[in-house]
Amino acid sequence: MAILLPLTFSMAPTSAIILLTSLYWGALFGGAITSILFNIPGEPWSVATTFDGYPLARQGQGGQALTAAFSSSFVGALFAVVLITLFAPLLAEVALKFGPPEFFAIQLLTFSSFIGLGGGSPLKSLVSILLGFIMAAVGLDIVTGQLRMTFGIVDLMKGFDFIVAVIGLFGIGEILLSMEEGLAFRAPPPASIRAWCGRRGRCCRATGAPSCGAASSASGWASSRAGPRPPPS
């Protein structure tokens, strides 16, 4: 997106926004390709795709996994655009009423969903969340401007880069494992949206999932737009 940004300088505002939006949504789906085929997330939001996409690729169903990721991304993006266009003013009014109890409830729901998505031991999920808190605390505090846990190292002032962490946690380990076991995939069957939708229940999940995602995203967006609640007079 940054490379093609200068091309929008001579374009009409509407055309430029459409171009950048298309590039953004394309990048969202592009991160799923490496997640499914190589178990290496290309983007932060592609981490969850590795849970189911890569095992399907190892079973020779990588084409169907990519088709499912593409169709789900398209349906979710279309649903999100329609939702934010119709309900943005209403969400803005709700965001102004958010206070400490609402922020706490949203954060509690977020970390509870992390534990639920962890699948295995809840203790391991809690430890992972704690490690994430520690890593996120390193660097410059955007609220107070104070340095946290930098230990005098200038490079730690900007915190940990997510891309570097993903390459270290997912990429290097997966590359070493592939070198040891050998990288081999079964011949995938021809994939198409019609073949993917032919499985019972997939269309229902593809159309029903945006509703749950829209509800959680709307609450998170409202909390990010909300300011501190004024003290009662």
Concatenated DSSP letters of 138-174: SEE-TTT--EES-TT-GGGGG---HHHHHIIIIIHHH
Give the number of other CB atoms < 10 A from CB of residue 40: 22
For the whole model, what pTM was predicted?
Answer: 0.58
Percent of the chain with pLDDT over 90: 0
The tens digit of pLDDT for each residue in 123-148 reads 888 888 888 888 888 888 877 888 88
Q: Does residue 54 register a pLDDT over 80?
A: yes
Instruction: Answer yes or no: is pLDDT of 206 > 70.
Output: no
Q: Which long-range contacts (CB under 8 A, 24 or more apart) does 201-210 make?
A: 202/68, 206/68, 206/71, 206/72, 206/75, 207/75, 209/72, 209/76, 210/75, 210/76, 210/79, 210/80
**Residue 215: its pLDDT value, please?**
57
- pLDDT score of 36 more than 80: yes
Q: What is the rounded distance in angstroms from the CA atom of residue 19 to the CA atom of residue 16?
A: 5
195 pLDDT tier (thresholds 50, 70, 90) = low
Instruction: Report d(CA 108, CA 147) in Å as an integer.
Output: 26
**Cα atoms in the 13 Å half-sphere on the side-chain side of 20:** 15
Going by pLDDT thresholds of 50, 70 and 90, the confidence category of residue 220 is low
